Amino acid sequence: MAEPKPRWPSYQDVLDAPDNKVAEIIGGELFVAPRPAGAHAAVSSALGAEITPPFGRGRGGPGGWIILDEPELHFETNVVIPDLAGWRRKQMPKVEDVPYFTLPPDWLCEVLSRSTEKVDRALKLPIYATAGVQHVWLLHPANRTLEVLRIHEGKWLTLAVHRDGQRVRAEPFDAIELDLAVLWADLALPSQALEPTALYEHATP
């Protein structure tokens, strides 16, 4: 007897994931990962604290953006959750009370680790390109790096790789100077320190 074909994961599988896990559907597979570890959360929070006042609120910057932590995005059959995402207000004037968003953000950020980098780069970046995301930042706490990517003819063009304590202007938020040292300031681990294992799990629905 032939084995039954694996069932394509559904949104219900995402909803059924434990509260302490992050569930995504990527390329027809259900991925379940632990909630972000300390360094991951610290860097993501620090970046949000730096760019939201000038761009989300217009305090010391041009405003014009809505910036959200860990929004759930639905692109066709894919369900993905970046660490941060931003929409220009001309695209999203207000945040509707919805469980997820189908409008592609203009910018998003993924915080990388040993356990998530392969998924973020190899699987999620192509989805973001197809969906119409224009800018992606990749932050790596252990390496103390910021990679700035822009879409070009359907592919990601790396504009710059910044590191350590550089002060940079990185599009689309190049109206202000960003001090990278602020992003790593609260990390106890030195650069290149070993990270705790927190592997993505392929989940069978």
Give the start-to-end residue ranges of the domains of the chain.
Answer: 33-195
**Nearest-CA neighbor of 99 among 200, 9, 11?**
11
**Nearest-CA neighbor of 33 among 17, 44, 49, 45?**
17
Q: pTM value?
A: 0.88
**Nearest-CA neighbor of 201 among 33, 82, 37?**
33
Query: Residues 74-96, buried b or exposed e (16+ Cβ, 10 A)?
Result: bbeebbbbbbbbbbbeeebeeee
Give the pLDDT score at 194: 38
Task: Return averaged pLDDT per consecutive 10 residues of the chain, 205 residues in all.
Answer: 66 90 93 89 96 96 97 97 98 96 98 90 97 98 96 96 96 97 88 41 45
Preceding amide of 126 cis, omega within 30? no
Give the pLDDT score at 8: 78
* Percentage with pLDDT > 90 across the chain: 78
Helix, strand, coil: what percent of the chain each, to 5?
20, 30, 45
* Residue with tokens 């919805």, as numbered in its chain: 98
Q: Where are the alpha helices (DSSP H) in 67-124?
A: 117-118
Burial class (CB in 10 A: 0-12, 13-18, 19+), 173: buried
CATH 3.90.1570.10 corresponds to the domain 33-195: yes
Return d(Cα 165, Cα 184) in angstroms, integer: 9
Return d(Cα 23, Cα 26) in angstroms, integer: 10
